Amino acid sequence: MRDDVKKLLSLQETDQSIQSLQAELEKIPQLQEAAKAQLANDTAAVAQAKADFQANEVEIKNLELDIGTRKNSVDRLKNQQFETKKNEEYTKLGEEVIRYEEQIDELETRELELMEIADERRQQMAEAEAALAKTQSFVDQEIADLAARATQREAELAESQKTREEKVGAIDDEELIDTYTRLFNKREGNAIVQVTEQKSCKSCHVQVTPATYALAQSGAAISHCDNCGAILFP
Ligand SMILES: [Zn+2]
């Protein structure tokens, strides 16, 4: 292989690493966002459990108000009963007291049911919060791992960029470097490729002419693929 092509091939290897490191670094913030998105369901479940508990609490409060109102009515009726001199009115007031006391009984039974529901919902809330905390710790770990990976890749990238400068410095043909750079970008990292024994270019997979193949073999000059322009080596 020609010395300049050998140097370019080595530069290409470094450029390929740089390219893949950059691609990986670009993806890391997206992966961190995706990790955070895992919290959405658990966060929503906690909010729902809290809302359910709260709604039940409101119902209990309202029930207590209703019970209180009826208890006041019973007190009032009992006072009236105490003060009345009329037998008929006394009986009528007594009946009303019974009616209110029956309502109070029903409301108190309902209140006990709601208190049992409150216990269940408190439990559900605690479970949802525990699930969220568990997911949160996984997510925190994942984000921290990704951050550590980014730091490591950045160091590798800096190292590769240094290596690249050295390799470019060792090639004293500006025009050749320009050609290489243009090809590297155009051929998605496959600027310097082997031409197979079947005369196929490994960048575009098209067969080259016998003359191009012979030139790549001899190394008398730089040989380019007839189709894609990639620099060929045997
Ligand atoms: Zn080609």
Q: How far is the CA of 231 from the centre of ligand 1 (A)?
A: 8
Cα 75 from Cα 152, distance rounded (Å): 78
Q: How far is the CA of 228 from the centre of ligand 1 (A)?
A: 4
C-alpha distances in angstroms, 6 versus 68, 104, 113, 114, 170? 94, 96, 84, 82, 11
pLDDT tens column, 138-183: 999 999 999 999 999 999 999 999 999 999 999 999 999 999 999 9
Cα 150 from Cα 193, distance rounded (Å): 31
Q: Is the sign of the CA dihedral 108, 113, 117, 122 positive or negative?
A: positive
Residue 218 exposure: Cα atoms within 13 Å on the Cβ side: 8
Identify the bridge partners of residue 231 per DSSP, sorted by sequence position: 192, 224
pLDDT tens column, 198-208: 999 999 999 99
pLDDT tens column, 15-65: 999 999 999 999 999 999 999 999 999 999 999 999 999 999 999 999 999
Terminal-to-terminal C-alpha distance of the chain: 7
Q: How far is the CA of 209 from the centre of ligand 1 (A)?
A: 11
Q: How far is the CA of 208 from the centre of ligand 1 (A)?
A: 8
Q: How far is the CA of 224 from the centre of ligand 1 (A)?
A: 8
At residue 200, the pLDDT reads 97
Locate the domains of the chain by residue range.
14-169, 174-233
pLDDT tens column, 67-121: 999 999 999 999 999 999 999 999 999 999 999 999 999 999 999 999 999 999 9
Q: How far is the CA of 174 from the centre of ligand 1 (A)?
A: 23
Whether residue 161 contacts residue 33, with contact meaning beta carbons closer than 8 Å, is answered with no
At residue 147, the pLDDT reads 98
Which residue do the tokens 């409060």 mark? 61
At residue 67, the pLDDT reads 98
CATH number of 14-169: 1.10.287
Q: How far is the CA of 210 from the centre of ligand 1 (A)?
A: 14
Q: How far is the CA of 197 from the centre of ligand 1 (A)?
A: 14
Q: How far is the CA of 116 from the centre of ligand 1 (A)?
A: 77
Q: How far is the CA of 182 from the centre of ligand 1 (A)?
A: 14
Q: Which two tokens stand for residue 105?
A: 């009984």
Q: How far is the CA of 15 from the centre of ligand 1 (A)?
A: 19
